[in-house]
Amino acid sequence: MTGPARSIAPRATVAGVIAVGVTAIAHAAPAITSLPAPRNRLTPGLAGVGDPGHVALTFDDGPDPASTPQFLDLLAARGVRATFFLLGSMLAESPELGRELVAAGHEVAVHGWEHRYLVLRGPRATHDDLARGRDLVGEVAGRAPTYFRPPYGVLSTAALRSARCLGLRPVLWTAWGKDWSARATAGSVFRTVRRDLAGGGTVLLHDSDCTSAPNSWRSALGALPALLDECAERGLRVGPLREHFAEPATSAGLAWGIGEGPARTR
């Protein structure tokens, strides 16, 4: 091989490595919104900021016949409805429980089919996962779902593009209970949520332990009465996301879940 040819090959290799690196960074860039500070400040719609007189109550990872019915009973007793982000793999095993959620007036949304980090999945696999979950949730609910929350709250460029293509609005949260830990208790979950609880916020809890420590859902269930009492004392209504956003997302904002920003007080 001649001198010039030998010099071209390394350059091409370096260029290829740089191109792969740039692509990987672009794919994973939206994952920064998993950090609360930049998410709440830069993308309030994605964080779930809505009507300042309302708190959106949301649950992830169900439906689970071992635990979800107990959440249903408690919410029914308190006259509260919520949004449940369902895993397709769990819903496929308990479609009747999904229909029970809908019949009770709760909103069902998409948590994907499998509970896997989307930054580790390519565009096709990501789209197929979201589409499969959306289709089953829509079939069980009798209407197309509106909202999508990625597993672990970690987005990717492929996830945003797929969500937009599928008509799903990504929504994360402003307060969570860290109720997935084996060390979580009803008291710790309530105190953790209360630190960030505010009007217009979205609360994340889990109604299943399918991706968490065994029986960790009991800490979320135990914290619910105190959480609902706290909201009532502050004069905050509690309900699903469909009551939380006063205005629909714009087509541009839909990709990032930004929408029109915080809802106006009704």
Stated as kind and residue range, the H or E segment containing 235 is none
Is 61 an annotated catalytic residue?
A: no
CA 191 to chain centroid, in Å, comes to 21
Instruction: Show the tokens assigned to 193.
Output: 């949520």
206 is annotated as an active-site residue: yes
Among residues 60, 64, 179, 209, the one annotated as catalytic is 60
Rounded Cα gap, residues 238 and 55, in angstroms? 5
Q: How many residues does the chain have?
A: 266
Residue of 257, 265, 238 whose CA lies nearest to 47: 257
Name the E strands within the chain.
54-62, 83-86, 107-110, 147-148, 169-170, 175-176, 202-206, 237-239
3-class DSSP state for residue 40? helix
Q: Which of 206, 207, 209, 244 is catalytic?
A: 206
Q: Is 71 exposed, middle or buried (0-12, 13-18, 19+ CB in 10 A)?
A: buried
CA distance 48 to 175: 10
> Residues with catalytic annotation?
60, 206
